[in-house]
Structure 1
Amino acid sequence: MRTFGSGDTPITATGVTADDGGWRIERTDAGAVPLFEVPLPGVERTILTYRARMKASDVKGKAYLEMWVRVPGRGEFFARGLAQPLQGSSGWATYEIPFFLSEKGVRADLVKLNVAFEGGGTVWIKDVELLKAGLRS
């Protein structure tokens, strides 16, 4: 559906720098770092998957992928990669989180892709993808 590479500019500039074919994200405290937003014209009955390769250095607590999906008239809903977090220091690995938009007639119009931190540390992220797969009836 959409792939982000070194030619794309993340939403957040503070603490985010181009590095190693992707971006280095440095945080001194807890919080989410917004990276990209993807408009979704009338997407329904689908599985959205946020996938990326990440590595970590000196992460305090956990860092993980976070995806927010906006549904007009209903609000924003999230998926977080708490089952597959980065902790401490680690090498490159692939991480992904799904969001199931399964209710018929419910249409999302925007997806926000973030990296969330429970504490400080450094995370590198690259090969960022937002994938879409239809749900069977």
Structure 2
Amino acid sequence: MITSAIPHSLLRHLVSVLVLTSTSISAVELGSFPCNDLSQVKTLVTVDKSVTADGNGSLKVAAAQNAVITIADQKNLRVEKGETLWCILKVKCEGVSQRAFLEMWCEVAEGKRAFSKGLNQAMQGSAEWYEIRLPMMVNDDFTVNRALVNVVIEGSGTVWVDQITFQKAKGLSAAYTLDH
């Protein structure tokens, strides 16, 4: 056998290429999803003008089963080392069977991502409007350029989100204070 003369990483690559180029593989279709109707979509996202914290409408996420929905995509943030990015928003929930929470994914200049999950601010059951604050402390040599905010619903339920704002503060702190 001549494999001992071939470096392990090259051998792995060659085996991968051989597997990918093999024509003897057959696949069995397990199902399909027609993209011409929404009957299989189990999460509904709408603007709700009647349920709102500020009187201008809110985003309503209604899930029949587990769901992760991006509700905000903010670019050009420029949050740098020694600063904390805050996403501050109002939420309300109804009929959340397990739990729901918010998470913020931050993209940095190098194309990497970091996240902040509001697990300590999770929603369950039903609740009136209250504020959630998600911090992202930048304590390394990178700059946060973009933030995506997701509503995560485990189980079923409805979450409304309103008044989404992004702020940055000097210092690395999970304690929030507003400077005027």
TM-score normalised over the length of structure 1: 0.81
Corresponding residue of 2:160: 124
Question: Letter of the aligned partner of 2:64 in structure 1?
Answer: T
Corresponding residue of 1:24: 60
Paired with 2:124 and 2:101, the residues of 1 have a C-alpha distance of 9
Question: Letter of the aligned partner of 2:74 in structure 1?
Answer: V
Alignment partner for residue 87 of structure 1, among 124, 130, 133?
Answer: 124
Alignment partner for residue 150 of structure 2, among 95, 109, 114?
Answer: 114
Give the CA RMSD over aligned residues: 1.7
Offset of 1:53 from its aligned partner? 1.0
The answer on whether the counterparts of 2:116 and 2:134 sit within 8 Å (CA) in structure 1 is yes
Superposed CA deviations along residues 39-81 of structure 1, whole A, max 9, x for unmatched, are 1354312211111111111112111111000123361111011
2:105 is the alignment partner of 1:68: yes
Question: Letter of the aligned partner of 2:47 in structure 1?
Answer: A
Alignment partner for residue 101 of structure 1, among 138, 160, 163?
Answer: 138
Q: Secondary structure at the match of 1:83?
A: helix
The answer on whether the counterparts of 1:22 and 1:126 sit within 8 Å (CA) in structure 2 is yes
Q: Secondary structure at the match of 1:73?
A: coil
> As a proportion of its length, which structure holds more strand?
1
Structure 1 stretches lacking a partner, 5+ long:
1-13
Q: Residues 130 and 95 of structure 1: is their aligned pair in 2 closer, same or farther, counting only changes over 3 Å? A: same
Structure 2 stretches lacking a partner, 5+ long:
1-42, 52-56, 173-180
Q: Secondary structure at the match of 1:15?
A: strand
Q: How many residues align?
A: 122
Paired with 2:78 and 2:162, the residues of 1 have a C-alpha distance of 28
Paired with 1:65 and 1:41, the residues of 2 have a C-alpha distance of 19
2:64 is the alignment partner of 1:36: no
Paired with 1:62 and 1:28, the residues of 2 have a C-alpha distance of 13
Identity of aligned residues (%): 29
Offset of 1:112 from its aligned partner? 0.5
Corresponding residue of 1:11: none
| Larger-Rg structure | 2
Question: Letter of the aligned partner of 1:109 in structure 2?
Answer: N
